[in-house]
Structure 1
Amino acid sequence: MSEAVAIVFVICVLPLAIVMHYITKWKATKGLTQDEERMLEDLWRDSQAMESRLNALETILDDEVPGWRKHV
């Protein structure tokens, strides 16, 4: 009888416990690390700077080469 209980435990309960353990671990580490947050902020600042530069270039092209957008 104890062998049957051990087999049921190993087949049913143990895999479920392992899955629940790793689901809990996954949910705990779901967020960004500090390094990832810093990198994301740096990328955001860089993209804002590039957008500003692109707008400046488009303004210059609008003044220097009217109609340039039709050729793009």
Structure 2
Amino acid sequence: MEEVLAIVAIFIALPWIILHYITKWKTSATITTDDEALLEELYNLAKRLDERMDTVERLVASDNPDFRPARLVHDSEQDNQQLRELEQLIAEKKGAQQ
């Protein structure tokens, strides 16, 4: 009887456990739709905050000619290109969903 249990444990239970956790690992490694929505919301929030910082810096600079923005690179073309690519990917994703 013990031999049967050992055979069942080796050939049925062990592979089942391994395959179960491999499946769990593969499904958890992907980003969910909730995660995508959260990332898009955070991206939009960061964009709005960046625009607000630009506005505040322009207002302060107009009042004080000696003002220097705290940001190291203001409105960098390299950053803008990456943002345009990201916005294009988001637009393509939305178009594919509809």
Check whether TM > 0.5. yes
5+ long unaligned stretches in structure 2: 70-98
Percent of aligned positions with the same letter in both sequences? 29
Verify: 1:54 aligned to 2:72, yes or no.
Answer: no
5+ long unaligned stretches in structure 1: none
Divergent runs of 4+, >6 A: none
Verify: 1:40 aligned to 2:39, yes or no.
Answer: yes
**Would you tell me which structure has more helix in proportion to its own residues?**
1
How big is the shift at 1:53? Answer: 0.8
- Aligned partner of 1:19 in structure 2 is 18
TM-score (norm 1): 0.63
Q: Deviations over 1:17-71 (max 9, x none)?
A: 313311212212422222221222111111101101101111221221233449x
**SS of 2:31 mapped into structure 1:** coil
Instruction: Tell me the C-alpha RMSD between the 2 structures.
Output: 2.6
TM-score (norm 2): 0.51
